[in-house]
Chain A
Amino acid sequence: MAAIEQKKMAPRDQGAPNYKEYLHPLMVKNYGKWKYHEKVKPGVIKRVAEGGDVLWVVRAGSPRTLSVDKVRGICQIADKFCKGFLRFTSRANVEFFVDRLEDVEPLVREVRDKLGFPIGGTGNGVTNIVHTQGWMHCNLPGTDALGAVKALMDELYDEFTNERLPARVKISLSCCSINCGGQADIAVNLQHHHPPKINHNNMQICELPKVVAICPVAAIRPATVGSKNSLEVVEEKCMYCGACHGQCPSMEIRDPDTDTLSLWVGGKSANTRGGPSFMKLALWGLPNNPPRWPEVGAAVKTLLRAYKDSAKEYERMGEWIDRIGWKRFFDLTGFPFTKYHIDTYRFARTTFNTSTQVKP
């Protein structure tokens, strides 16, 4: 396409694709008229409509990052068994829709054999990990989400293909302290260990007032370094969040020698029972150890073992800890409770125990 044509390209404001064209015929027919669902087995859910129609939904785990040929492979299977319709879940699982029971097993086999995708991710198991871009495409990452997730899901494969945990376990992974991966029952997040290192020779690429303004603890102030306008960081105030680094690449917060990974637990979105909750720090100081981050896998498995042994049915990770208390959580997991687990930010006091309710 010639350059001149590119310049002529005008915004078209076309909006979202029309989802109605992408619904399986049974969804069109029974839209809003579904009665109940039944678990058939891990990864397979039977959806029954008020009028009696049945749709089997088969869920498979994907690596999210897909070559076009892999996507075409998914399409081939959906054409063969699903009338050409499928969907993705918020956690990068693929869902195939089958309207004949006898098609379920052949579909499952093809997904496994041709795509190499496991069937599962439903109910009380570990579902696919939501994650960030990492070294593949982010400008801020201290680690690689794609590889860390692949390595972790290798470790947790059997928890994806089975439903043998007390409740569903959602995991996220983030490559910096902005935590784009989000709240989850278990989150693996990168942790910075010192204030940003400022490249005073390259501050002209940044809007200095914006960098000052973005600091949540007002630790950044203007400074003249040499003869150049630059910034300085009040290191006692800085909490190594990296907000300035997102605003200004010359405020380098990452450090390949000192960045570590932390494990956070107990986040939940659903309004069920106690409502949504934030995750809390469980373990810090795991090495950022590519290509397979074995220490992360081991820690997550330790955590899942303790949870599986001690939680009641329908108790999500955070609810389990609420019941048994944090002391027993640290006892059961063997994770050390340290001074760094005690909050020092603005709402710290709301996290202190202001009662005599203590367990032995």
Chain B
Amino acid sequence: MSEQKKKSGTPLLDELEKGPWPSFVADLKKLAEKKPAVGQLLEQMEQSYETRVNYWTGTVLNLDGYGGGVIARYSDLGKKLPEVAQFHTIRVIEPSGWMYSTAALRELCDISEKHSSGILQLHGMTGDILMLGSDNKTTFEAGEALMQKGWDIGGSGGALRTLACCVGPAYCEMSCFDTLEVTKRLTDHFISYLHRPELPYKFKFKLSGCPNDCANSIQRSDMPIIGTWMDDIRIDKDEVAKFVAEHGEEYVVENVITRCPTKCIHLRKKEIVIENADCVRCMHCINVMHKALAPGKKRGVTILLGGKRTLKIGDTMGSVMVPFMPLETEEDMERLFDLVGRIWEFWGENGMEHERVGEFIERVGLATFLEGVGLEPDPRMVRHPRTNPYIKFEEYTGPQIAGEPKVAPPVLDKENEPRESI
């Protein structure tokens, strides 16, 4: 690295050093004192702030044997700012729940400082660790250094993305399954898909321990896996009495009873009564009275499919594929791996390029999709049955996937055959 220490020359960015919220500009300016690339990064941003024009061109760079994990960027201002002419991001797989030891974080810092620009983002929108600022050569060095220390990279292009999950059983009493462990198991089992794009488009898992969905899985992942329970909400009567005494009956009615989406919770003689058959496990009463109420003991997950952001058919949420399954034993994990495998096979076979699984389901229809992946229709997969009568009975025409009719035995003659005259 050369000694060319430049003056900041960033009057617009300097405005972002003001104010009480911690300033990335102040932090990066300090870093620029030992990392000239960071100074030039700020210069480029300053120019964007002046012109409202972006100066990064996206391209592809891969470590040998990998098809994902590096977001390559070339600066359009590379002649003027040679230190950021190549300024790539390495996507590093984060530990489940974004849990760290300081030793692990320091390891990342040392690698970033030695082989990259010394900028870390904790974390990317997908959940991964972002190491910004290596060039065509140092990206390989950083990748090698990361892997020697046991870290792994991946998750860009038509590949499985780094998984993300909530804090789960590590400190939360709401968690209905081991989000941290299942995240690790899924990552390791499907690691090849993280490294080598083999799918029609990106695929994201996010795991939340309970329906509060702290991992934002329904909105932000192709396959949300969310903890839930199927038996009764547990009630601690003493704690209920304490809560009612402390807050008053009116508060309980206003803030717990009337907020229940299925009106299945009641306050009778200062006691909580729940009609559990009507409960949709929304978590509200448990969240408010979390000492008095708790999820049941028969726990597992609801698995949805098809959540994504706007590009290109508009936002979609995940919808229910598996209303409930336990996720505790090795056999349960195998069932999950198998389900994912079937989904990827059917979608991989029939999906179009750049078609997320939710878009694919929309195109071919949920019923066809269920058949394709071997799931039985369940009323809990829909808000309600269809309201129109246009049923395409398959005795006549098989479902169409990607334009090719599936072979179905016709029970009706499609044309009148000429009759033999007697």
Binding site for B on A (CB under 8 A): 1, 3, 5-19, 21-23, 27, 30-32, 34-37, 47, 55, 57, 61-72, 74-76, 78-79, 84-90, 92, 97, 115-118, 130, 132, 135-144, 146-147, 150-151, 153-154, 157, 160, 177-183, 210, 213-216, 241, 243, 246-247, 249, 254, 256, 259, 267, 269-276, 278, 288, 290-292, 312-314, 345-347
From A289, which residue of chain B is reached at the shortest CB distance?
B52
What are the residues of chain A within 8 A of B52 when measuring CB–CB? 142-143, 256, 259, 288, 290
Asked if B184 contacts A90 (CB within 8 A), the reply is no
Nearest CB in chain A: distance from B119 CB, A: 6
Inter-subunit contact B219/A291 (CB<8 Å)? no
Knowing A68-B109, A84-B101, A314-B259 are in contact, say whether A271-B167 is a contact too (CB < 8 A): no
Q: Mark B310-339, 1 if CB is under 8 A from A, else 0.
A: 111111010000000000000000000000
CB-based contact B284/A17 at 8 Å: no
The listed residue with most A CB atoms (<10 A of its CB), out of B22, B93, B104, B260, is: B22
Find B57's partner among A182, A249, A278 (CB 8 Å cutoff).
A249
B residues near A65, Cβ cutoff 8 Å: 24, 27-28, 119-121
Residues of A with C-beta under 8 A to B150:
14, 17
Q: Which B residues are within 8 Å of any A CB, using their own CB?
A: 12-13, 15-16, 18-25, 27-28, 30-31, 38, 41, 44-45, 48-49, 51-58, 63-66, 71, 73, 87, 89, 93-106, 108-110, 112-113, 118-123, 125, 127, 132, 137, 140-141, 143-144, 147, 150-152, 163-164, 166-167, 169-173, 175, 178, 180, 183-184, 187-188, 191-192, 195, 211-220, 226, 254-255, 259-261, 280-284, 287-288, 290-291, 309-315, 317, 352-354
Q: Write out the residue numbers on chain A whose beta carbons fall within 8 Å of the beta carbon of B98.
A: 87-90
Residues in A neighbouring B122, C-beta threshold 8 A: 62, 64, 66, 71, 88, 92
State how many angstroms separate the Cβ of A280 from the closest Cβ of chain B: 11
Residue in chain A with minimal CB distance to B218: A276
CA distance A66 to B164 in the complex (A): 20
Whether the pair B211, A213 counts as a contact (CB closer than 8 A) is no
* B283 in contact with A271 (CB, 8 Å): yes
A344 to B97, CA, bound (A): 40
CB distance from B207 to the nearest CB of A (A): 12
Rounded to whole angstroms, the CA-CA distance of A260 and B56 in the bound complex is 20
Q: Are B281 and A271 in contact (CB under 8 A)?
A: yes
* Beyond A67-B31, A271-B280, 10 extra complex contacts between A and B, CB < 8 Å: A9-B140, A9-B143, A15-B184, A16-B187, A22-B95, A27-B171, A74-B105, A85-B102, A210-B354, A273-B259
The closest CB in chain B to the CB of A147 belongs to B16
Complex Cα spacing A118 to B22, Å: 8
User: B28 and A67: CB pair below 8 A?
Assistant: yes
Q: Are B120 and A138 in contact (CB under 8 A)?
A: no
Chain A residues whose CB sits within 8 angstroms of the CB of B259 once the complex forms? 273, 314
Report if A90-B309 is in contact (Cβ < 8 Å); known contacts: A32-B178, A85-B99.
no
Least CB separation from B131: chain A residue: A68
Known contacts A36-B173, A271-B283, A278-B315; decide if A254 and B352 are in contact (CB<8 Å). no
Interface of A is mostly: loop
The residue of chain A having its C-beta at the shortest distance from the C-beta of B168 within the complex is A32
**Assembly CA distance A294 to B259 (angstroms):** 37
CB–CB A78/B102 < 8 A: yes
Residues on A with C-beta less than 8 A from B23 are 63, 150
Asked if B49 contacts A66 (CB within 8 A), the reply is no
Bound-state CA distance A9–B64 (Å) is 6
Q: Are B21 and A139 in contact (CB-based, < 8 A)?
A: no
Contacts of A147 in B (CB 8 A): 13, 16, 25, 45, 49
A152→B65 CA distance, assembly (Å): 42
- Complex formed: what's the CA distance from A288 to B53 in Å? 11
- Known contacts A11-B66, A65-B119; is-contact A19 B216 (Cβ 8 Å): no
Known contacts A117-B22, A144-B49, A288-B52; A13 and B152 CB within 8 A of each other: yes
A19 x B64 contact (CB < 8 A): no
Which residues of chain B are near A241, meaning CB under 8 Å?
A: 310-312
A68:B112 contact, CB within 8 angstroms = yes
| Residue in B64, B163, B187, B290 whose beta carbon sits within 8 Å of that of A6 in the complex | B64
Q: Nearest-CB distance from A17 to chain B (Å)?
A: 4
A19 with B99, Cβ < 8 A, contacts A65-B28, A213-B354, A272-B283 known? yes
CB of B113 to closest CB in A, whole Å: 5
The answer to whether A75 touches B54 (Cβ under 8 A) is no
Residue of B with least CB distance to A343: B314
Q: Nearest CB to that of B144 among chain A residues?
A: A9
Measured between alpha carbons, how far is A62 from B123 in the docked complex, in Å? 11
A120–B166 CA distance with the chains assembled, in angstroms: 19
Question: Are A23 and B49 closer than 8 Å at their CB atoms?
Answer: no
Asked whether A150 lies within 8 Å of B21 as measured between CB atoms, the reply is yes
Report if A270-B213 is in contact (Cβ < 8 Å); known contacts: A65-B121, A135-B45: yes
In the bound complex, residues from chain B placing their C-beta under 8 Å from that of A75 are: 102, 105-106, 109
Partner of B152, one of A14, A118, A136, A313: A14
- Contact A137 B16, beta carbon cutoff 8 Å: no
- Are A292 and B315 in contact (CB-based, < 8 A)? no
A-B contact pairs, 25 of them (CB 8 A): A6-B141, A8-B64, A13-B192, A14-B152, A16-B94, A17-B93, A34-B172, A63-B22, A64-B121, A64-B123, A65-B120, A66-B119, A85-B99, A135-B48, A139-B58, A179-B310, A180-B125, A182-B125, A182-B309, A183-B315, A213-B352, A267-B219, A272-B211, A273-B261, A345-B314
